[in-house]
Chains A and B, each alone.
Chain A
Amino acid sequence: MKRMLLAFTVLLLSVMAVFAQGSAEGAADDGGLIRVGIINNDPNESGYRTANDADLKRVFNEENGYDASFYYSLRNDEQIAAAQLFVQDGVDYLLLSAAGTAGWDSVLQDAYDAGIYTILFDRTVDANPDLYVAEVVSDTNLQGQTAVDWLASQNLDEYNIIHIQGVMGSSAQIGRTDPLNAMVEANDNWNLVTQQTAEWNAETAQQITQAVIDSGTPFNVIYAENDDMARGAVAALDRANISHGVGGDVIVMGFDCNKWALEELLAGRWNYDGQANPFQADTIDGIIRDLENGIEPESKTIYLVEQGFDAATITQEDVDKYGI
């Protein structure tokens, strides 16, 4: 029985290892190709991550002169171990989207000592900035500011806002909340009817919105920090027969630019969707090309261009190009 249990445990562990997708493939050394080791979060995490991974794979392949190895994990320690492997393998570039900010100093130092360029993308780490050549990241605060500016440009007499937040403390939540809070603080005609976290969950967002509707408090703006939560809020509006979108009683705002969300915009059922740009590969590719020619990037932090889409001006082309 004991042996059976042991065999079973081994089996389980191997199954779990497969699911954790822990495969850092060693790259073969063939001439001419630039060798990159890419450490990313699990593409299953979200639509954003799926699009991000697909974009990296589109650019970093043999056709474009790259010999790329991918490693995925949502766990920081596993990512660090994979980074160490890549350093030992002697890749030319290490591309990193860290699951957590801490603990990266020593491995980045190793990479630096070995003459490997490290480029951070999407997420930054707490390490000496000298250890990496560039970080290609989103400015979530700007995402929030762009959205709030757009909302202000609607010139409503009064803003009664249902603010549905993401997971508290996440960078997207903080960046998308702060500009709105500042605006509400500064203007008497901006009010928060409610400010609750739905933790990125559509159903919780629906319940929060439903609670406001049931209480009879008037509101005219839904500011949801991602598309799923905006969808949940809209479901509650539909249930109560409250018109929304272009020409409706309630302005609906979301973030992330999922394809289906942009289609809602195109149909005029939502008003605004802010982009969280997952397409970092071309920017990283540009940095690597420059470095190959001996040109260091001008600034260490490179923000991606991120726009907001307005239902009044969005086109089918935008949906196809920017939808994730």
Chain B
Amino acid sequence: MSIDKTPSIGLQKASGLFRRQIFIPLAALIVLILFNLIADPSFFEISYGTNSAGNPVLSGYLITILDNASELAILAIGMTLVTAASGGQDISVGAAIAISGSVVLRVLCGDNPRPDEMQASILTAFLISCVVSMLFGAFNGTLVAYFNIQPMIATLILYTAGRSIAAWINNNRLPIISDPSFGYFGTFIPGIPIPTPIFIAIICMAIIALVLKFTTLGLYAQSVGINPNSAKLNGINPAFIKFITYVIMGLCVAVAGFIKVTRFSTINYSVVALDIEMDAILAVALGGNALSGGKFSMVSSILGAYVIQFLTTTLFKFNVSSSALPAYKAVVVIVLVVLSAPTVRETLKKAWNRLRAGSPARKEA
């Protein structure tokens, strides 16, 4: 393609981009950026100041977006794998975040909901919550992989019971941790002006990039999602691959739950991460991934997560009234999801090709 320097090379490149899965979330992001640029360029200003504790912080809409999208981006990683391998979605992640957050606080607080000193190191608490979350992930995974229950039904159990379990873990009390070092993970580390969740999200993305590059997890998940029987004939154990994606989802939930509780050093079982599972599924859909499983693009899903937060922050900025907010969001989401649906993309591609083939022909005529 690069050798053949015909005038249509630009069109060919554009057509290639069209076909690429990342096109839709990228285009959505660009549209949002352009919209904000035209409406109010100050949207992109980043200012440097200090917070009330006297530590340096960067602030601005972009920082807010990157900061608040962290949990969603991390969940999108797990949700993409779950979707690819099992052809269904885990709707229990919000409730599971409540559980993992509750575990962190329980380990740190012990029996006293308002401890002056933490009862264990933060690392210990985090690791224990990782184990607990992965066990719950394994529970979901077992139902889906070994009992062949529809993922949405299997995870409905934890979705229903999760928040009650979370409250039960802390004897129904709302612990508050006063030690400021706990809050560093959800806000700022003194001296570093960038919010910590951004770093945590980057670390998670780096890890999953390495895993996908150096292990066969991605390939196996796709092949199981496309056709479990042929995957089996090729020596892959489909049940185990499905199972392991739910365990990884559990790990993502633990990290996201940890960020959630460290943001405010406390938890509210009934509202923490409420409906976040829907946003995580949406991120996967916006990324152009087929929700019925199979091939996936991790980068597109993660980008989808940032698009959702970009949209939320934009709507807050333009002060859309509370009652109308869901409607605006719905319209944007409908457009994006329809555009990113594989069938629509196929049609668009065909239309584009016809346009490309048609325009010179008309000139000749």
Q: What's the Cα separation between A181 and B50 when bound, in Å?
A: 34
| Chain A residues whose C-beta falls within 8 Å of the C-beta of B322 in the assembled complex | 165, 168, 195-197
A240 proximity list for chain B (CB < 8 A): 49, 51, 59
Q: Choose from A5, A15, A214, A239 the contact partner of B57 (Cβ within 8 Å).
A: A239
Indicate if the CB atoms of B316 and A196 lie closer than 8 Å.
yes
B174 touching A47, Cβ below 8 Å: yes
- Which of B165, B188, B313 is within 8 Å of A211, CB to CB? B313
Q: Mark A145-181, 1 if CB is under 8 A from B, else 0.
A: 0000000000000000000010010000000000000
Q: Is the CB–CB distance between B264 and A202 below 8 Å? A: yes
CB B364 to nearest CB in A, in angstroms, measures 55
- A-contacting residues, B36-59, CB 8 Å: 42, 49-53, 57, 59
The listed residue with most B CB atoms (<10 A of its CB), out of A231, A237, A241, A243, is: A241
- For A228, give the chain B residue with the smallest CB separation: B268
Number of A-B pairs, beta carbon distance below 8 Å: 111
Beta-carbon contact of B321 and A241 below 8 Å? no
CA distance A29 to B41 in the complex (A): 74
Question: Which of A8, A42, A210, A228 is packed against the most chain B CB atoms within 10 Å?
Answer: A210
Confirm or deny: A208 has a beta carbon within 8 angstroms of a beta carbon on chain B: yes
* Contact of B59 with A46 in the complex, beta carbons under 8 Å: no
In the assembled complex, how far is the CB of residue A207 from the closest CB belonging to chain B, in whole angstroms?
Answer: 6
Report the separation of the CA atoms of residues A16 and B168 in the bound assembly, to the nearest whole angstrom: 15
A44-B269, A45-B270, A213-B59 given as contacts; is B164 within 8 A of A239 (CB)? no
Interface 1/0 per residue, B144-157 and A, CB below 8 Å: 00010000000001
Bitwise, A209-237 to B at CB < 8 A (1) or not (0) is 01101111000000000001001100101
Within the assembled complex, what's the spacing in Å between the Cα atoms of A242 and B49? 11
C-alpha gap A240/B52 in the complex (Å) = 7
Within B127-165, the residues touching A (CB, 8 Å) are 147, 157, 160-161, 163-165
Nearest A residue to B62 via CB reads A214
Once the chains bind, are A231 and B264 in contact (CB under 8 Å)?
A: yes
| CA distance in complex: A191, B167 (Å) | 39
Contacting pair B160 A16 (CB below 8 A): yes
A19 in contact with B51 (CB, 8 Å):
no
Point out the residues of chain A lying under 8 angstroms from B49, CB to CB: 240-241
What residues of A have a CB within 8 angstroms of the CB of B321 in the complex?
195-196
A53 CB to nearest B CB, Å: 9
Task: Give how many A residues have a beta carbon under 8 Å from the other chain's beta carbons.
Answer: 46
B176 vs chain A, min Cβ distance (A)? 6
A44 touches B64 (CB 8 A): no
Contact of B59 among A199, A200, A214, A231 (CB under 8 A): A214
Q: Are A5 and B268 in contact (CB under 8 A)?
A: no
Q: Identify A197's interface contact among B68, B172, B325, CB under 8 A.
A: B325
State which of B51, B168, B268 has its C-beta within 8 Å of the C-beta of A239.
B51
Flag if B268 contacts A202 (CB, 8 Å).
yes
Q: Are A210 and B53 in contact, CB atoms less than 8 angstroms apart?
A: no
- What mask results when residues 53 to 96 of chain B are scored 1 for a CB within 8 Å of chain A, else 0? 10001011100100010000000000000000000000000000
B316 touching A207 by the CB < 8 A rule? yes
Q: Is chain A's binding surface mostly helix, strand, loop or mixed?
A: helix
A232 and B264 within 8 A (CB): yes
If A199-B271, A210-B64 touch, does A235 touch B59 (CB 8 Å cutoff)?
Answer: no
- The yes or no answer to B312 lying at the interface (CB within 8 A) is yes
CA distance A249 to B52 in the complex (A): 13
Contact yes or no, A235 B271, CB < 8 A: no
Query: For the complex, is A203 an interface residue (Cβ under 8 Å from B)?
Result: yes
Interface residues of A in 187-203 (CB under 8 A from B): 194-197, 199-203
Most chain A C-beta atoms within 10 Å of own C-beta, residue among B64, B187, B271, B323 = B271
In the complex, chain B residues 262-298 whose Cβ is within 8 Å of any chain A Cβ: 263-264, 266, 268-272, 274
- Residues of B contacting A47 in the complex (Cβ-Cβ under 8 angstroms): 174
- When the two chains form their complex, are residues B157 and A12 in contact, meaning their CB atoms are under 8 A apart? yes
Inter-subunit contact A196/B51 (CB<8 Å): no
A22 at interface, CB cutoff 8 A: no
Docked complex: A103-134 residues within 8 A CB-CB of B = none
Closest to B173 in A: A50
**Could you give 22 example pairs across A and B, Cβ below 8 Å?**
A16-B160, A19-B161, A44-B172, A44-B270, A47-B174, A165-B322, A195-B322, A196-B325, A197-B325, A200-B270, A201-B272, A202-B263, A202-B271, A211-B64, A211-B317, A213-B59, A214-B60, A214-B64, A228-B271, A239-B59, A240-B49, A240-B51
Q: Which residues in A have some Cβ–Cβ distance to B below 8 Å?
A: 5, 8, 12, 15-16, 19, 42-47, 50, 165, 168, 194-197, 199-203, 206-208, 210-211, 213-216, 228, 231-232, 235, 237-243, 258, 260
7 nearest CB pairs, A to B: A197-B322, A211-B316, A44-B167, A238-B52, A19-B161, A201-B271, A196-B322
